[in-house]
C-alpha cells in the first residue's frame, strides 16, 4: 500500500507546490487538509479543487470558524491573552485547531506523516509539530520549506514549470497570516524596525487619523463570554466578526511590536485585531468590577503564563489545562454589560454595569449616604504599617540610619 502524507494546505503558492514536491521526494500520496478559521478569501470548494488539480489524491476541507471562535478565541479572551502585553495570539490560537483536523485526517485517510509549510525561523513549526506529537504520537512530521530550503523563487519556478493552477508573483513583499481573531504581517520593508508601516500593510482596519463619527457599542457578557451586542444575541463568532467591522472602521486594533520568538530571535510584527482588542478591553473592565482584589491580582500572573504557553505551542500541555480550570473558575461572576466608544483608533470604556458587581456605590461615594466607616482607617493604617515601623526602629537602634535619606536606602 502506498504511503500517505497529510499536508496542512492553505491554497497558496507554497503549499500548492508542496503537494508535488512531497510526492516526488517521498513517493507518497498527498492528502491536502484545508481548515477555515475565518481567514476569508476563496471558498473552501475552490481551495479543495485546487489541491486536487495540484496532485493531491484527497482533499479534506473543514469549516472550523465557530469551533475556532468558541473553543480557542474565547479561552484567550477569558485569560486576557496578550503576549508581551501586545499580541493577541492571532496565529498561535489557530494552530491547535488546525492540528486537531490534521491528526483526524491522518487517522481517517491512513496517513503516517503530517507535513506543514513552515520555515525554520518561526514559531509555527513548533506549534504544529508539538501539537501533532501530542495528539498523534505515532505520526511523523516533515516541513518541506524548512527541511529542503525551498525558497519562494523556487516555488514560483516549480509552479510555472508544472503549470499549476496558482497565481505566482514576486511583488508582495510581506508574509501574511490571518483569521477571524486578527491579521499578522511581517518581513519585507518591515524588517527594518525604524521604518514606519505603509498604508498597504493594513486590511482589517481603516486609518485612525480620519475616522467616521464615534460608534458607541454595548457588549453583554455571561461568564466571560460575549453574548449580546447592543441588545442583540450573538455567538462568539458573530461577536468577533461584527466588532472586526465596527472597530476596524475606526482604526482600532493596530499593533506594531518587536516580539521575542520562541526560537530565540526578535521579530518585528504588525497586527490588526479590531474585534479581539475591543472584546479584550471590555472584558478587562468587566473583570475590574466583578473579581475580588486578590483573585484579580493572582489572575494576572496566571493570564501571563497561560499566554506564554499558548504562544510557545503548548496548547495541549497539562499545565495549560490546569490554568484553564483556574481561569474558568474566575469567570463565574464575570457577567454584565460594558459600553464603549469606538473612535480614532481607540476603544474607550465609558460605562459598566453588572448584577454581580463588587462595586458598592454607598461605600465609594464621598457624598451623603457614605457607608464607609472612616474611623476604622487609623487603626488599619497602624497595623498595616507596623512591620515596616518596627524594622525602621531596629535600624535606628543599631545605628544603621543616619538621616531620612538613609531610610529610603534600607532594603
Positions marked catalytic: 14, 95, 124, 175
Cell of 279: 472584546
Cell numbers of 268, please? 518585528
- DSSP H or E segment with residue 182: strand 182-186
Reduced to 3 states (helix: H, G, I; strand: E, B; else coil), residue 292 is coil
Nearest to 141 by CA among 1, 21, 8, 310: 8
CA distances from 59 to 6, 109, 259 (A): 9, 10, 35
Contact (Cβ atoms closer than 8 angstroms) between residue 204 and residue 183: yes
For residues 117 and 18, the answer to whether their CB atoms sit within 8 Å is: yes
CA distance 273 to 370: 42
The answer to whether residues 210 and 168 touch, using CB atoms and an 8 Å cutoff, is no
Please choose, from the candidates 287, 225, 276, the residue with its C-alpha nearest in 3D space to the C-alpha of residue 83: 276
CB 212, CB 341: distance < 8 Å: no
- C-alpha–C-alpha distance, residues 321 and 392, integer Å: 45
Q: What is each CA distance from 240 to 54, 203, 253, 360, 409, in whole angstroms?
A: 34, 16, 12, 32, 50
Q: Which residues contact 105 (CB under 8 A, 6 or more apart)?
A: 6, 31, 33, 60, 111
Residue 120 φ/ψ, nearest 5 degrees? -90, 0
Cα separation, 167 vs 39, in Å, equals 18
Displacement of CA 214 from its chain's centroid (Å): 26
Q: Positive or negative CA dihedral for 99, 47, 175, 269?
A: negative
Amino acid at each position: 500500500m502506498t504511503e500517505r502524507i497529510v499536508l496542512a494546505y492553505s491554497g497558496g503558492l507554497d503549499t500548492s507546490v508542496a503537494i508535488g514536491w512531497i510526492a516526488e521526494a517521498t513517493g507518497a500520496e498527498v492528502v491536502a487538509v484545508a481548515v477555515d478559521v475565518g481567514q476569508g478569501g476563496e471558498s473552501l470548494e475552490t481551495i479543495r479543487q485546487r489541491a486536487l488539480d495540484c496532485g493531491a489524491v484527497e482533499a479534506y476541507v473543514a469549516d472550523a470558524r465557530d469551533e475556532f471562535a468558541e473553543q480557542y478565541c474565547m479561552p484567550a479572551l477569558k485569560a486576557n491573552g496578550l503576549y508581551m502585553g501586545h499580541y493577541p495570539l492571532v496565529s498561535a490560537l489557530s494552530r491547535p485547531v488546525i492540528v486537531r483536523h490534521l491528526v483526524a485526517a491522518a487517522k481517517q485517510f491512513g496517513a503516517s506523516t503530517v507535513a506543514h509549510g513552515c520555515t525554520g525561523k518561526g514559531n509555527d513549526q513548533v506549534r504544529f509539530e508539538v501539537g501533532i506529537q501530542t495528539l498523534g504520537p505515532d505520526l511523523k512530521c516533515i516541513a518541506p520549506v524548512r527541511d529542503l530550503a525551498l525558497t519562494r523563487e523556487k516555488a514560483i519556478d516549480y509552479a510555472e514549470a508544472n503549470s499549476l493552477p496558482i497565481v505566482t508573483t514576486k511583488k508582495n513583499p510581506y508574509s501574511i497570516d490571518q483569521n477571524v481573531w486578527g491579521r499578522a504581517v511581517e518581513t519585507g520593508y518591515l524588517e527594518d524596525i525604524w521604518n514606519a508601516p505603509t498604508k498597504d500593510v493594513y486590511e482589517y482596519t481603516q486609518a485612525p487619523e480620519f475616522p467616521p463619527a464615534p460608534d458607541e457599542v454595548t457588549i453583554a457578557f455571561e461568564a466571560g463570554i460575549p453574548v449580546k451586542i447592543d441588545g442583540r444575541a450573538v455567538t462568539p463568532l458573530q461577536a468577533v466578526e461584527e466588532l472586526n467591522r465596527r472597530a476596524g472602521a475606526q482604526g482600532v486594533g493596530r499593533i506594531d511590536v518587536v516580539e521575542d520568538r520562541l526560537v530565540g530571535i526578535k521579530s518585528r510584527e504588525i497586527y490588526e485585531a479590531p474585534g479581539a482588542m475591543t472584546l479584550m478591553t471590555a472584558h478587562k473592565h468587566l473583570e475590574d468590577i466583578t473579581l475580588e482584589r486578590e483573585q484579580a491580582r493572582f489572575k494576572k500572573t496566571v493570564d501571563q503564563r497561560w499566554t506564554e504557553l499558548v504562544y510557545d505551542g503548548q496548547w495541549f500541555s497539562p499545565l495549560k489545562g490546569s490554568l484553564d480550570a483556574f481561569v474558568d473558575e474566575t469567570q463565574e461572576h464575570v457577567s454584565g454589560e460594558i459600553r464603549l466608544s469606538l473612535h480614532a483608533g481607540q476603544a474607550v470604556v465609558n460605562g459598566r454595569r453588572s448584577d454581580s458587581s463588587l462595586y458598592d456605590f454607598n461605600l465609594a461615594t464621598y457624598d451623603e449616604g457614605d457607608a464607609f466607616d472612616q474611623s476604622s482607617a487609623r487603626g488599619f493604617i497602624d497595623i498595616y504599617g507596623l512591620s515596616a515601623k518596627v524594622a525602621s526602629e531596629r535600624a535606628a537602634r543599631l545605628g544603621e540610619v543616619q538621616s531620612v535619606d538613609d531610610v529610603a536606602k534600607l532594603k
